[in-house]
Chain A
Amino acid sequence: MTAAPMMSLLGVAVVIVGLVARFNPILVVTAGALVTGIAGGLDPVSVVSALGKGFNDSRFISVAFLVLPVIGLLERAGLQARARSLISRITAVTAGRLLITYLAVRQLTAAVGLLALGGQASMVRPLIAPMARGAAETSLGTLSEDSGRLIDAHAAGVDNVGAFFGEDIFIALGSVLLIQAVLLQNKLSVEPLRIALWGIPTALAAFTVHAFRLVLLDRRLARGSTEEPRE
C-alpha cells in the first residue's frame, strides 16, 4: 500500500479535532474534506469538484424543508395550541404513552417504506411535542420549564429512533439498497430481502428499550424531577 491513502486519515483527524474543539460543523466538515483529498494525493481542483458533485447529487435530502412554509403559517394560526388542547381532553393519555404510540406507528410505517409519515419539521414540532406536553399537563398540572424541554427532547428522540430502526426493514428504501450496492462494490452479491430480514432483531430490541425508557420518563415527570438517570 502506498503512503497516500494512509495520509488521507489526516482528514479524519481534522474532523475529530474540530468536533471536539466545537468549531462550526460545516467549517469542520469542509476542512476535513479538503485535507482528506489533498493529503490523499488528489489535486485541489478534483477535491473541490468531488465536493460539488457530492453536494449536488444529495439535494434530495433537503427537499423536506419545503414543509416549513406550511408549518409556519399554521403555527401562526394556532396549530400548536390546538394540538395541546385536543390531547388534553383524553385523560388516560400520558406523555410517555403518547410517545410510545407514536414510536410504534413511526417504526411500523417506516418499515413499510412510509418514511414521509413523520419528521421533525412536519410532525414533531407542530403536533407531537405540543401533544406530549398537553398530555403531561392533563395528568400533572403546569409543567416546569425543564420538564417541558425534557418532553420536547424525547418527542424528537422518538421520531428519530422510530424512523432509523424501522426503515432498515423495508427493501426498497435507501438504506437497504445502499447496503446492497456497497456489498456489490466489494464483490459480494446479496438479495435485498435478506438484508431487510436481518434488520428485524435490532428493530425489536430498539423498540423494547426505548418504550421502557418512555415508561421511565412518565415516572420521572410524575416525580417532578428532570435530572438525567444514570443508565
Chain B
Amino acid sequence: MIGLSAAYIPAGLAFGAIAVGSAVDRDNPKRWNNAAFWGLFSASFLAGDYLGDLVNGVLVLAMVVTGGLGGIGLSRPATTSEAAREILARRLGERLFVPVLLIPATALAGTLIFAHARFGGVPLVDPMQVTVISLAAGAILALAAAVALTRASPRVAVDEARRLMDQVGWAAILPQLLAALGAVFALAGVGHAVGEIMGVVLPQGSRLAVVAAFCLGMAAFTMIMGNAFAAFPVLTAGLGAPLIVGRFGGDPAIMGAIGMLAGYCGTRMTPMAAHNIVPTALLRLPPGAVIRAQTPTALFVLAANIVLMDALVFRHWR
C-alpha cells in the first residue's frame, strides 16, 4: 500500500536541495542558519519515522532555535525582471497555465481514482491519505511539465523554490508546531482545567450563556493555538460534552459541527494561523492585511454560529 512516505520522501529531498542551495549562497549572510533550518526540516521528512519521539523533539527544538532565534535570511537568487517576464509570457502564452492546472487536476483525478483502487484486496493507496499523496504526485508531474516548458536547469528550479521558501521562512513549521502544542495541552489536561473554571464562572441555568461561552471559547482558543483542530478537544472536554450535551441534553452532532465552525472564525482573525501567515509572506503584504480582509466576515459568522447553535442544538431532531 502506498502511504504518506510516498509524499514525505519527495518533500524531504526538496527541502534537502533547498538546504544545499542555501549553504552555497555566499550572498546570504545567514546562509548557515538557512541551511541548518531547511536541512533539519528535510531530515524530519526523510527520517522522522525512524528517529523516535525524543530525538524528533530535540530536532524540533533545534529548528525553533535556528529559525526563531537565529532567523532565516531572505535569499535573493538571480531571477528574471518584470520586463523579461512580460516578453516570456507573450512567447509561452496560455501554455504557462498547463503545469499550474496539472496540480489540481492530478489531485482531483488521484482522489477519485485511488480512493477505491485495490490490488489483491488491499487498497493501492492509503484511503485516509489519498488527498495528500495525490497533491504530491500533482506537484511532481507539474514540475516535470514546467521544466519541459521553460527548459530550466535543475539548479534554476532549486533557486526559485529557495526564493519562495525563504519568504515563508520560520512560518513553514508553525502549523506542525501548533499541532504538537495541542498534543501537549491534551496530555496536561488543559481542557478539564478550562471546564472546571467555566463550571464555576458561568450562570448555572443559562443555556445561551453556555452556548456563547463554548463558541467564543472555540474562537479564542483557536486564535491562541492558530488551529481550530487543537482548540476543539480542549473546549469539547471542558464545556461541550459536560454542559451542552450532558447538563442541557443538546445534540452532540450540532454542538460539534457548529463549534468547529466557530473555531474557524477565530482562525480568520489570528496572526498565529499559517493560512494567514503564508499568504502575507507570499504576496509581500504588510502584517495584518489578510486578517483585516477577513475579520468582519469572521465576526459576523461567529455571531451567526452562536444564534444557530442556540436555536438548533436543543431541539429533538429525528
- Is the A/B pair a real complex? yes
The residues of A with any CB-CB pair to B shorter than 8 Å are: 1, 4-6, 8-9, 11-12, 15-16, 19, 24-27, 29-30, 32-33, 36-37, 39-42, 45-83, 85-86, 113-118, 120-127, 129, 149-150, 152-157, 159-161, 163-165, 168, 174-176, 178-180, 182-183, 185-188, 190-191, 194-199, 201-202, 205-206, 209-210, 213, 228, 231
B100 contacts A70, C-beta separation under 8 Å: yes
B297 contacts A213, C-beta separation under 8 Å: yes
A1 in complex: contacting residue of B61, B111, B163, B196, CB < 8 Å: B196
Output the nearest chain A residue to B85 by Cβ-Cβ distance. Answer: A78
Chain B nearest Cβ from A200, distance in angstroms = 9
A27 contacts B100, C-beta separation under 8 Å: no
Q: Across the A-B interface, how many residue pairs have beta carbons closer than 8 Å?
A: 458
A116 contacts B188, C-beta separation under 8 Å: no
A66 contacts B92, C-beta separation under 8 Å: no
A75–B280 Cα distance when bound, in Å, is 18
Task: Please tell me if B104 contacts chain A, counting CB pairs below 8 Å.
Answer: yes
A149 contacts B188, C-beta separation under 8 Å: no
Output the nearest chain A residue to B168 by Cβ-Cβ distance. Answer: A65
14 contacts between A and B (CB under 8 A): A26-B67, A30-B68, A51-B183, A53-B180, A72-B160, A75-B85, A81-B85, A124-B283, A125-B283, A126-B100, A129-B283, A152-B289, A178-B232, A195-B257
Output the nearest chain B residue to A15 by Cβ-Cβ distance. Answer: B224
The stretch among B23-31, B41-49, B116-124, B203-211 that forms the contact with chain A is: B41-49
The residues of B with any CB-CB pair to A shorter than 8 Å are: 4, 7-8, 10-11, 14-15, 41, 44-45, 48-49, 51-61, 64, 67-69, 79-80, 82, 84-90, 92-94, 96-97, 99-100, 103-104, 107-108, 111, 129, 131-132, 134-136, 138-140, 142-143, 146-147, 149-150, 152, 156-161, 163-165, 168, 170-185, 187-190, 192-194, 196, 224-226, 228-229, 232-233, 236-237, 240-241, 245, 252-254, 256-258, 260-261, 264, 267-268, 271-272, 274-280, 282-283, 285-286, 289-290, 292-294, 296-297, 300-301, 304-305, 308, 312
A57 contacts B174, C-beta separation under 8 Å: no
A221–B292 Cα distance when bound, in Å, is 16
Given the known inter-chain contacts A1-B196, A52-B56, A195-B256, please indicate yes or no for A152 contacting B283, CB distance below 8 A: yes
A123–B142 Cα distance when bound, in Å, is 13
Output the nearest chain B residue to A187 by Cβ-Cβ distance. Answer: B241
A174–B67 Cα distance when bound, in Å, is 29
B7 contacts A185, C-beta separation under 8 Å: no
A52–B60 Cα distance when bound, in Å, is 6
Chain A nearest Cβ from B110, distance in angstroms = 9
A156 contacts B279, C-beta separation under 8 Å: yes
Chain B nearest Cβ from A176, distance in angstroms = 8
B residues near A32, Cβ cutoff 8 Å: 181
A33–B164 Cα distance when bound, in Å, is 29
B190 in complex: contacting residue of A11, A188, A209, CB < 8 Å: A11
A154 contacts B297, C-beta separation under 8 Å: no
